Amino acid sequence: MHIQPLTIPDIVLMTPKAHQDERGFFMESFNLRSFAQAINGRYGFVQDNHSHSKKQVLRGLHYQFRQPQGKLIRVLQGSIYDVVVDLRQSSATFGQWLGVELSAASQQQLWIPPGFAHGFLTLTESSDVLYKTTDYYRPEDEHCIRWDDTHLAIAWPLQGPPMLSQKDQQGVPFSQAQLFG
């Protein structure tokens, strides 16, 4: 597995080694030992989530505060622009965001530790995104920061207005978000 640290040091882009031939491919998409080595730590995953989205669907920026979730994101079909925002006040990268394109073709995965808001925009006609989480989903603990917050100024690669859920339309500005220590 190839490991690439990104501009926010705790965020890691992982590219599994795929063995391809005329039949298709085989890859080990997750290995606890390799994963722990790549992130210099150990997390246990308790839940897998799968979302299917149409083109221009924007989901996020979501996070849980009392039970923060680390997430290992991968795209099974299509392509997305994946965004994370550092909500850890003690971090040197507090309030910064980064975005990376993930696709089924690249087979890359993105590790996002607890303490970050997460969202993505579907770039292709549709996308299927699978992500592992380090804690259980608690609807009463879900928070949402506005995708178009002017302080964050995220450069989403939009081709027109995004399709948003009602919950995402009601996201709060970054200045009103609950933050981690």
Q: Which residues are designated catalytic?
A: 62, 131
Give the CA diameter of the chain: 53
27: number of CA atoms within 13 Å, CB side?
A: 19
Which residue in this structure is represented by tokens 């808001």?
117
Cβ proximity of 103 and 129 under 8 Å: no
The helix (run of H) or strand (run of E) holding residue 83 is strand 79-86
CB 134 within 8 A of CB 114: yes
131 neighbors 118 (Cβ within 8 angstroms):
no
Instruction: Annotate 96-130 with b (16+ C-beta within 10 A) or e (fewer).
Output: ebbbbebbbeebbbbbbbbbbbbbbbbbeeebbbb
Which parts of 17-91 fold into alpha helices (H)? 32-39
